[in-house]
Every structure is written in structure tokens, then in C-alpha cells.
């Protein structure tokens, strides 16, 4: 379940019975892109650093600003961050 203080991050989901661990890419993306310190603390309790790094490597919807920041935080080389690659 999503804590009440983080429900706004998942504005487009039906949160009745929503389990973030069942949708890791979606949940991790939302927190990395829109979350605050409390959301990041929850993210780190809910998902492993390996899982977060995997999402950084595959998620193209992150803004370049967020992708660069989280790549530095998690030690993912910029060349391995999907959002930093031109998809054309």
C-alpha cells in the first residue's frame, strides 16, 4: 500500500489495493521524478538499490535533470541511463 503522504504521486492510479512492489518501474519512476525526501525514504525502504538502478537504466520518461541527479546518487554512468539517450 502507498502511504497517505505519497498518494498524490500516484494521481492516475486506483490506490485501493494498489501494491507498488507489483509495479516497480511505475512506482520508482514516480518517486524519482516527483518525490520529496519522505518519498525517497519510503522508496529506499520499499525497493533495493539494485532495483532502483535497473529502473534508471531502462526508464526513458525521467527528465534529464532527474536522470542526471539520480545517476550520480546511485553511481550509474550517464551512458547507462535510458533517459539520457536520444531515442531517435
Q: How far is CA 19 from CA 6, 10, 35, 72, 83, in A?
A: 13, 11, 17, 28, 25
What are the tens digits of pLDDT across the range 4-37? 888 889 888 888 888 889 999 999 999 999 999 9
Which three three-digit cell numbers place residue 86? 536520444
Tell whether the torsion through CA atoms of 34, 38, 42 and 44 is positive or negative: positive
Those residues whose C-beta lies under 8 Å from the C-beta of residue 18, and which sit 6 or more positions away, are: 1, 2, 10
Percent of the chain with pLDDT over 70: 97
- Kindly state the average pLDDT of the residues 60-72: 96
**Short-list 22, 20, 28, CA closest to 3:** 20
Amino acid at each position: 500500500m502507498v502511504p497517505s503522504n505519497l498518494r498524490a504521486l500516484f494521481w492516475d492510479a486506483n490506490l485501493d489495493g494498489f501494491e507498488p512492489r507489483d509495479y516497480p518501474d511505475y512506482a520508482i519512476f514516480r518517486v524519482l521524478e516527483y518525490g520529496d525526501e519522505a518519498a525517497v525514504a519510503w522508496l529506499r525502504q520499499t525497493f533495493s538499490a539494485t532495483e532502483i538502478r535497473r529502473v534508471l537504466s531502462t526508464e526513458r520518461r525521467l527528465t534529464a535533470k532527474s536522470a542526471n541527479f539520480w545517476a550520480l546518487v546511485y553511481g550509474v554512468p550517464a551512458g547507462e541511463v535510458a533517459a539520457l539517450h536520444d531515442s531517435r
